[in-house]
Structure 1
Amino acid sequence: MHKSQLTKQTTLLLGSLYTTQFVGFAFFSVAIIAIWRKSGMQLEQLGLVSMLSFVWVIKFFWAPWVDRYIQKCNGNYKNFLLIVQSWLVCSIAFVSFFDVIHDKAIIIFSLILVGLLSATQDIATEGLAYKILKKSERGFGGTLKSIGGILGYIIGAGIALSLYENIGWSATILMLATLTAITLMQMFFYQEHTSKVEIHSESISWKIFYRFWNTKDKKIWLLFLILFPIGMSMASGILVPLLVDVGWNLEKIGFIKGVIGSVLGILSAIVSGWLLKHYSRINVLIGICLFETISLLLLLFIYYGYDNIIINSLAIGSVFISYGTSMPIVSALIMDHIEKSPTTEYALQFAIYMFLGVLASGSGVSLSGVFGYNTMIIMSSLFSFITMIYVYLFFRKMNYERD
């Protein structure tokens, strides 16, 4: 077991990396949906745009290369992250020179590019987190990831969407690029420890993708990674077009979804981290699934036109609370399943989780054009209920302890 390197500086650095990896990507993959829906794009087309987030899913294809590169650098992540973060800043700034409505092809290309760079940064960040954190700190690391993701969402899909209504496209994009550059400066001044996590070079090969799931417990874990993200991702995917279709303007969507809802998500991530310290991971998982089963149905109030700021905030907040409480425990459990190659094995597991999340999100949007928002909201709640039953039946005998 490696020693902890958790300090104030490394905590701020990890939090910043988790935040800025999602700032630009959140704007291009979420706020763009609202902007293009407002301009008249059909739900079926928006669903396909949502699925461009698959670039995050396929990151496990190049994760072994990152492992090998880091190994050649004696386990040091700093230089690699400096390069990737620099390209991420430039890629975001590049889009400011084009029109969001008339240059859709370039915007989509930029979405893919920013997604690839963000995903690569995430691969290296998870390896750095694995190196910095000892096992008892992984719940805290998951909390940092969750809070960082939500902060990135607040900025990219909330604040930036509101600003777009007032200051325009180019100024908004340049603001996002500037914020992403802050992490670049933090990484520049970071003094990385020379100690490294042992990586077995013979395991860094494509065979790992076949060997990794070759036990009964891993197969049970695999099915969980398939089921768990569907409910909350489906609800999250339909939320923005639903709000546009019931008459909300972009500034209001940005505020209540990106600020009020996300604050609830951050608080829930903190609570989730605390729960992992005091209760078993299985009991926390069951509690999260039960919460999702009930709370996601609150979105029906918005669909049926119930205009109450408190109810609407709770309905939107339920999506963020689901994400906020889920990410710490999922991240901790993924790290628990790492055996030899930190970045590769984390990416391999998280890719499954992300794949189903993106698929559920995009499918939820497209199918809403056929079956209606209300049907898809009920389906999202049903999937959360199925996951809860699965966890209760198959996870209770597995050795998952609290941090």
Structure 2
Amino acid sequence: MSPTAPRPSNATLVLLASLYCAQGLPSGLIAHSLPVLLRQHGVDLALIGLLKLLALPWLLKVLWAPWIDRLASQRLGHHRGWILPLQTGVILCVAVLAMLAPQTLFGSGLWLLLGLLLLINLLASTQDIATDGLTVRLLPERWRGLGNSLQVGGYKVGMIVSGSGLLLVIDPLGWNLAVGLVAGLILLMTVPSWLFPEHRVLPFQPALAETAIGPRLLLNHYRGLLAQPGMLLWLAVVLTFKLGDSLGSPMIKPMLVDQGWSSAALGQLTLISSLAGIAGAVLGGLLYARIGVLRALILFGTLQAIGIAALALLVGQGGNVGLVYAVTLFEQVADGMSTVALFAAMMRMCRPEHEGADFTLQASAQLLLSGFVGASSGVLAKALGYEGLFVGAGVLGLLVLVVVLMHARRTQG
């Protein structure tokens, strides 16, 4: 890690923050606002559950990511050639939603709504490949923690605006204007990408890219990644680093509901804890630049494990609002810091002109295993109780740090 690498320019930071905020805006609409609005219009719970399946492109994007790295636009540049048309497609889809009556969308046009949401996820997940590749190339290693602070923070800000924010303004403004504002905000977030001179700053280097462009490209790309020294052990780090958090965090709200917390109180806690998570991401990025990758992973991973285990203190203490806020905010700050450290370390493993797909493979693997572990949290909570679940998740979070140390020793060796 070069201690002399200058901090990225303000224009670079604004560009990255705008790209990730643009991804969070449609995600917040789909994940937080639409389930509430659909239920208010009497849509069956089984159909509302289909919204989760619409996120499949985010898991499957690893299958087409190598082509995003391989193919470049001569006019717009490599990454801009993907980002601009894909983000424009998201804007158009959200604009169509804004022009239709909610009675139609949530009634006879429900399948049109689901189709548009699937298309939004497909466009946004593909754009994310190019955005991650651009981020890796733009940032020197020392400042990738800060870059991932913008990734986590920008995405969460977008989620808050189109999730909590949209629900707050939809009654006075109406569906059409409120969703139209979301489309307008995504359009505003596109301006820095239009102004970015990629041809001059980051010219495409086809000699470093894969030579194949047909079906063999997928095999060649990932076979080359897995052949990198220490990569298999590093993938073990990626798969396990967030397992404790994935196991414990889904049960925080159910535990508080069982202790009498209302929807309004949980909504306020969610908003404040999300802001704490953004602060943690920023703090983690700044500390990463000072202490380096290994210390960041160990320190932030330890704080993450302590935060999850500390949730056991809240069992039977739901009436102690101050304690609930103290523990959950600490857990969110630690989660933001650990996420930034992991994502920044993942960027170190990306090869030149393979950045988008290399990062995507790591992110998809981490997301897939965490999803399966998170799905088991309710079963374990019933078997062990909330207290046993949180303590066990914290212990798991500490144990997986051994894999981090093993990889560091192997790499140094």
* TM-score, shorter chain, exceeding 0.5: yes
Identical residues among aligned pairs (%):
23
Partners of 1:114 and 1:84 in 2: how far apart? 9
- Could you tell me which of 211, 214, 224 is aligned with 2:237? 224
| Structure 2: unaligned runs, 5 residues or longer | none
> Is 2:212 aligned against 1:206?
no
- Could you tell me which of 56, 62, 81 is aligned with 2:58? 56
- CA drift of 1:60 comes to 1.6
Confirm or deny: 8 A CA contact 1:19 1:150 kept in the other structure. yes
State the partner residue of 1:174: 180
Partners of 1:95 and 1:250 in 2: how far apart? 27
- TM-score norm. by structure 1 comes to 0.82
Partners of 2:169 and 2:341 in 1: how far apart? 33
> Is 2:266 aligned against 1:266?
no
Deviates more, 1:244-253 or 1:217-226: 244-253
> Is 2:321 aligned against 1:309?
yes
Q: 1:304 to 1:113 in 2, by over 3 A?
A: farther
Paired amino acid for 2:210:
S
- TM-score norm. by structure 2 comes to 0.80
Partners of 2:50 and 2:334 in 1: how far apart? 24
Ranked by relative contact order (alpha carbons within 8 Å, sequence separation 6 or more), the top structure is 1
State the partner residue of 1:15: 17
- Could you tell me which of 355, 363, 367 is aligned with 1:342? 355
Confirm or deny: 8 A CA contact 2:310 2:327 kept in the other structure. yes
Deviates more, 1:41-50 or 1:336-345: 41-50
Where does 1:181-200 land on structure 2 (aligned, <5 Å)? 181-194=187-200, 195-198=202-205, 199-200=208-209
Confirm or deny: 8 A CA contact 1:18 1:145 kept in the other structure. yes
- CA drift of 1:235 comes to 3.8
Confirm or deny: 8 A CA contact 2:143 2:285 kept in the other structure. no
Partners of 1:46 and 1:142 in 2: how far apart? 32
Higher alpha-carbon Rg: 2
State the partner residue of 2:150: 144
Confirm or deny: 8 A CA contact 2:312 2:387 kept in the other structure. yes
State the partner residue of 1:70: 72
Partners of 1:360 and 1:226 in 2: how far apart? 11
> Is 2:282 aligned against 1:276?
no
Confirm or deny: 8 A CA contact 1:162 1:251 kept in the other structure. no
Confirm or deny: 8 A CA contact 1:29 1:53 kept in the other structure. no
Q: Please list the CA deviations of residues 64-122 of structure 1 after superposition, one character each: whole Å capped at 9, or x if unmatched.
A: 22123326558433243221111112223444544687676555544433322221121
Deviates more, 1:170-179 or 1:383-392: 170-179
Confirm or deny: 8 A CA contact 1:238 1:364 kept in the other structure. yes
Partners of 1:300 and 1:44 in 2: how far apart? 32
Calculate the aligned-residue CA RMSD, in Å.
3.8
- CA drift of 1:220 comes to 0.8
Q: 1:254 to 1:306 in 2, by over 3 A?
A: closer
| Structure 1: unaligned runs, 5 residues or longer | none
Partners of 2:260 and 2:287 in 1: how far apart? 38
Confirm or deny: 8 A CA contact 2:80 2:193 kept in the other structure. yes
State the partner residue of 2:368: 355
Partners of 1:11 and 1:391 in 2: how far apart? 29
> Is 2:338 aligned against 1:326?
yes
Deviates more, 1:34-43 or 1:206-215: 34-43
Q: 1:216 to 1:65 in 2, by over 3 A?
A: closer
- Could you tell me which of 297, 301, 315 is aligned with 1:285? 297
Q: Please list the CA deviations of residues 116-149 of structure 1 after superposition, one character each: whole Å capped at 9, or x if unmatched.
A: 2221121111222233223333222222212212
Paired amino acid for 2:203:
K
